[in-house]
Chains A and B, each alone.
Chain A
Amino acid sequence: MSSAITSPSAKTQALRLTAFLVLTAMVALIVATPFLPNYYIRVANSLLIYILLGIGLNIVIGYAGLLDLGFVAFYAVGAYTYALLASPQLDLHLPFLVIVCIAAFLGMITGVLLGIPVLKLRGDYLAIVTLGFGEIIRIVINNVDWLTGGPKGIARLDKASILGVDLARPVEIYWLLLVTVLGVGLFVWRLERSILGKAWAAIREDQDAARGIGINTTTAKLAAFATSATIGSIAGTIFAASQRFVSPESFSLQESVLIVLMIVIGGIGNILGIAAGAAILILLPEMLRELAEWRILFLGILMVVLIIVRPAGIVPRSFGPEKLIRGLFGK
């Protein structure tokens, strides 16, 4: 595609073929997964959760250009909201959808609360403060035993159900996650192309010049933090509902780093890239189980190679969903 010799029509055809193959593979995978054994469905669920988290964090990192290393905090907020409102812990048993709304709202509030103190920070400084924020949330959860059960966590969470339909078996969670990922993905993709998305890009490129054209960078950045945190929190709720158990272990710094890695390796600022990055970082470790303790070493080497070979990510920013669609319909 990058070759200068190929004629425009050959290029369009190559693009159409790529688009066709990618979409067919995606649809085939999506349709086939429910018929696979439970183990595979669980892996797919884990993949979908990470894609959801990646889409959320990408708003802050990929669109607005703010390196946030504490994203897992919002994931924890969502998970613990479900754990507290749908378990014997406080003897509350609210319906799943109600909790999703509450968690989304709490996530948004937490996002703004984190956003306000870090508005003036960028780059390394922002990364350090958000990293601290993520750890604070985890440590608080670990220590407020009376509420969160401390390191033991909260068990025996309610089964999730929507309109009387139980969502507990892996395949049921799979459909829930799939619908959520597609919905959130569509929403975020449209958001990126909206005027707010363009303002985020301008802030990422040159914050001061963005102010110079009349962008209130404070509210635009807070909007990015809030949207991103809301998505993280919703992912946490679904995670808790699928595991029916939460403990602080699931919300370590390593998780935040993993999500950032997915974005960087997959292709920063591109939803398709995030899906690719998540696939590599979630599926490969599963496939490499044979290698036992060599697994992490192998994964590390792979990451180094990928970053050297494709510094802009597996799927670069320019190859977004709109390019796939245009490629397929030849416009």
Chain B
Amino acid sequence: MTLVFSNLRKQYGANVAINDVSTAFEAGMIHGVIGPNGAGKSTLINMTAGSYTVSAGSISLDGRRLDGMKKYEIANAGIARTYQNIRLFDQMTAIENLEVCAYPSEVNHTWREVFWPPYGRARAKARRESCMEILQFFGLERYADVEAGSLPYGRQRMLEIARALAMKPRVLLLDEPAAGLNHHETAELTAKLAELRSPDRIILVVEHDMDLVMTLCDRIVVMHHGKLLFQGSPSEVQASSDVQLAYLGTDNDIDDIRAAAQDRRAQLGIRARQRS
């Protein structure tokens, strides 16, 4: 199974967001997409999932063209995604958020479900059980009947990935899954995502957290100004001087940035403690 971008282009007026990107994503691996802000990482996900149209080139999964399909058709072709800003069905419970993903395969039996109570009960039970398994995997089972919108932020991030998994996807697109998570939660997320690696699943992670990308991903695609700058294994990416210059900066820069980030975290921590 392969997800292929060929000569992909996205243009807003004169502004080119994605410029002639060609690459392929194999199943069984976790692929990282990194690059500075505005490099076009999220645009790639949004085009694959059908949220944005494709200006030129094509996206195909196992030879089947995805670009030009409607958003729900792309989802039904096996593409699941999460969003940079969490988009759960807030007033539905956590488990309902997952259960509703059975819609495409079960909607044709709606009348039977409504008019034949034993069938309806059996369906509801089967749905709940299979979704509960996914919740358990993410350690969310005790939140099953809690409204999704009232969950803590970190749990919501997990729940969104759980919802994407409930679609039984062949391609899982994660748009900054670690954004806003603390150290502990990020570690938990990294462990869970590693377990999701499967020979019949393509996983694509857009992420700013370099530790997560370098430990988790088998292959990394580096975007810069809408172009594909480099692709290779984490160690190859770290060794590439092009990537260092374009994105990571020099070795010294990295240390500086890390130090600055640590300071910032410490400050925030102090402030949070003062408030509480």
**Interfacial residues, chain A to chain B (CB-CB below 8 A):** 187, 190-191, 193-196, 198-199, 201-202, 205-206, 208-217, 220, 317
Shortest Cβ gap from B199 to chain A (Å)? 23
Shortest Cβ gap from A87 to chain B (Å)? 33
B contact residues around A214 at 8 Å (CB):
72, 75-76, 101, 103-104, 167
A206 vs B163: C-alpha distance when bound (angstroms): 14
- Chain B interface, number of residues (Cβ within 8 angstroms): 37
Q: Given A205-B89, A213-B101, A213-B163, check contact A198 B96 (CB 8 Å).
A: yes
Shortest Cβ gap from B176 to chain A (Å)? 16
Are B72 and A201 touching (Cβ within 8 A)? no
A contact residues around B89 at 8 Å (CB):
201-202, 205-206, 209-210
Selected A-B contacts with CB under 8 Å, 30 pairs: A187-B114, A190-B113, A190-B114, A193-B120, A195-B107, A195-B110, A195-B123, A195-B127, A196-B107, A201-B91, A201-B96, A202-B100, A202-B103, A205-B89, A206-B89, A208-B51, A211-B70, A211-B72, A212-B71, A212-B75, A213-B75, A213-B100, A213-B163, A213-B167, A214-B101, A214-B103, A214-B167, A215-B103, A215-B104, A216-B104
**Interfacial residues, chain B to chain A (CB-CB below 8 A):** 49, 51, 70-72, 75-76, 80-81, 83, 87-92, 96, 99-104, 106-107, 109-110, 113-115, 117, 120, 123-124, 127, 163, 167
A209 vs B103: C-alpha distance when bound (angstroms): 13
For residue A187, which residue of chain B has the nearest CB?
A: B114
Most chain B beta carbons < 10 A, residue from A208, A210, A213, A215: A213
Shortest Cβ gap from A35 to chain B (Å)? 33
A58 vs B109: C-alpha distance when bound (angstroms): 22
A contact residues around B167 at 8 Å (CB):
213-214
Are A217 and B72 touching (Cβ within 8 A)? yes
For residue B76, which residue of chain A has the nearest CB?
A: A214
Shortest Cβ gap from A271 to chain B (Å)? 14
For residue A269, which residue of chain B has the nearest CB?
A: B91
A contact residues around B72 at 8 Å (CB):
211-212, 214-217
Given A201-B100, A214-B76: 18 more A-B contacts, CB < 8 Å: A190-B113, A194-B114, A194-B120, A198-B96, A198-B99, A198-B103, A201-B91, A202-B89, A205-B89, A208-B51, A210-B89, A212-B71, A212-B75, A213-B103, A214-B72, A214-B104, A214-B167, A215-B72
A contact residues around B110 at 8 Å (CB):
191, 194-196
Q: Given A212-B49, A212-B71, A214-B72, check contact A198 B100 (CB 8 Å).
A: yes
Q: Is chain B's interface secondary structure helix, strand, loop, or mixed overall? A: helix
Which residue of the partner chain, among A191, A193, A209, contacts B87 with CB atoms under 8 Å? A209
Most chain B beta carbons < 10 A, residue from A187, A201, A216: A216
For residue B102, which residue of chain A has the nearest CB?
A: A195
Q: Given A205-B92, A209-B87, A213-B163, check contact A195 B113 (CB 8 Å).
A: yes
B contact residues around A193 at 8 Å (CB):
120, 124
Most chain A beta carbons < 10 A, residue from B103, B163, B167: B103
A contact residues around B103 at 8 Å (CB):
195-196, 198-199, 202, 213-215, 220
Shortest Cβ gap from B229 to chain A (Å)? 29
3 closest pairs, A vs B, by CB?
A214-B75, A205-B89, A198-B100
B contact residues around A194 at 8 Å (CB):
110, 113-114, 120
Which residue of the partner chain, among B71, B104, B120, contacts A190 with CB atoms under 8 Å? B120
